[in-house]
Amino acid sequence: MNALGSFKIIEAPVVLSKAHPTNILTIDLEDWYQGLEIPCTEWAKFEDRLEQITSRLLELLAESGTKATFFVLGKIAEAKPDLVRMVANAGHEIGTHGHTHSLIYKMTPKEFAEELERSVKLLEDITGRPVLGHRAAYFSISEQSLWALDIIAEQGLKYDSSIYPIRHYRYHWSDTPRHPYILEKATSRLVEIPVSTLSILGHNLPMFGGFYLRFFPRAIVGKGVSLLNRQGHPAVIYLHPWELDPKQPKISLPYRLRLPHYWRLGSTRGKLRSLLRKFKFGPACAILPALKNANPVIGAKPLTAH
């Protein structure tokens, strides 16, 4: 694949120090019920646990001095601006996770643009800092919603982290690049930072986020990060605060949602602490200078000056 929608793909390898590679840690800041395909009009009836567990997560990150990117839901920013300030004041990057945690491919371009603009303005007003990055709810930039990339770039964001190069019932990406790359067209440029995978026998194996991070043993995940770093790539990892909360309420859900949501929640804290002790992590925005200065791979379209 050499294009995504109106953008050409430019693979520009990030050159990392193999002695001290920097990986990327991202957090989708949402409460336990907000990623279960429950309409936002029904959220008020569920127990709110986000502030308490986010405080614990911040303490865990502070143990190792790790800074991360928090992709914040607009609804969270509206209801809990002090929580967003607390995260930002701890030195973490704030990105947008949209406003209502809706599937982008079920939205119109107008609806998405309005939600994106609303969430970005909220976050910038709260933190006093520009929002550089976006991650779609459920990684829902699909072949049917590639128009979202144009809107993200038009609104002035610098990077996206929504195209997960695996086959999933919500999206089917297996031929997009596995490592950070540049999307470029005549009028704009956007960096895409996909969650990491390992290439096994021609297939992309997810291991570095959400259910997959909890499914694989700690040692296997660590070896996966080491392998990516030896190859000169950052490991891009994601999780949610609720994944550190095994005491969250259990509700009736379809099996496809219940299994990945509740699987081994008690393992997340120890696994994350182990990774933070063994590897160096930083926010997604830290990779932007490296990509800006990287040379495209041979045969790719040359970068143009902006």
Higher pLDDT, 166 or 63: 63
Looking at residue 201, its pLDDT comes to 87
- pLDDT tens column, 11-26: 876 766 655 568 999 9
Query: What is the mean predicted confidence (pLDDT) over 71-100?
Result: 98
From residue 133, give the alpha-carbon distance in Å to each of 26, 39, 76, 215.
Answer: 11, 24, 17, 28
Place of tokens 């030896």: 230
Looking at residue 172, its pLDDT comes to 65
The overall average pLDDT reported for the chain is 91
Looking at residue 86, its pLDDT comes to 98
For the chain, which domains are there?
Answer: 3-293 (3.20.20.370)
Q: What are the tokens at 177?
A: 């690049």
Q: Is 146 exposed, middle or buried (0-12, 13-18, 19+ CB in 10 A)?
A: middle
- How would DSSP label each residue in the chain? --EETTEEEE-------SSS-EEEEEEEE--TTTTSS--GGGGGGSPP-HHHHHHHHHHHHHHHT---EEEE-HHHHHH-HHHHHHHHHTT-EEEE--SS---GGGS-HHHHHHHHHHHHHHHHHHHSS---EE--GGG---TT-THHHHHHHHTT--EE-----SB-SS-B-SSS-SS-EEEE-SS-EEEE-PPPEEEETTEEEE-SBHHHHHHS-HHHHHHHHHHHHHTT---EEEE-GGGG-TTS------HHHHHHHHTTGGGHHHHHHHHHHHSEEE-GGGGHHHHHHPPPPTTSPPP---
Query: What is the mean predicted confidence (pLDDT) over 72-97?
Result: 98
Looking at residue 22, its pLDDT comes to 86
Whether pLDDT at 175 is above 50: yes
Q: Is the pTM here over 0.85, yes or no?
A: yes
Looking only at the bridges linking them, the beta strands covering 22-29 and 280-282 are parallel
Whether pLDDT at 48 is above 70: yes
pLDDT band at 298 (very low <50, low <70, confident <90, very high): very low
Looking at residue 195, its pLDDT comes to 96
Whether pLDDT at 306 is above 90: no
- pLDDT tens column, 119-170: 999 999 999 999 999 999 999 998 889 999 999 999 999 999 999 988 776 6
Looking at residue 136, its pLDDT comes to 97
Alpha carbons 130 and 141: distance in angstroms, whole number: 23
Looking at residue 290, its pLDDT comes to 78
In angstroms, how far is the first alpha carbon of the chain from the final one? Answer: 25
Lowest mean pLDDT among 152-156, 184-188, 233-237: 184-188
Looking at residue 302, its pLDDT comes to 32
Q: Tell me the CB-side half-sphere exposure of residue 228, using CA atoms within 13 A.
A: 29
Whether pLDDT at 300 is above 70: no
In sequence order, which residues have a C-beta less than 8 Å from that of residue 216 and are 6 or more positions away?
207, 224
Query: What is the mean predicted confidence (pLDDT) over 163-180?
Result: 81
Buried b (16+ CB within 10 A) or exposed e, 283-299: bbbbbbebbeebebeee
Query: What is the mean predicted confidence (pLDDT) over 253-280?
Result: 96
Looking at residue 134, its pLDDT comes to 98
Looking at residue 117, its pLDDT comes to 98
Looking at residue 303, its pLDDT comes to 28
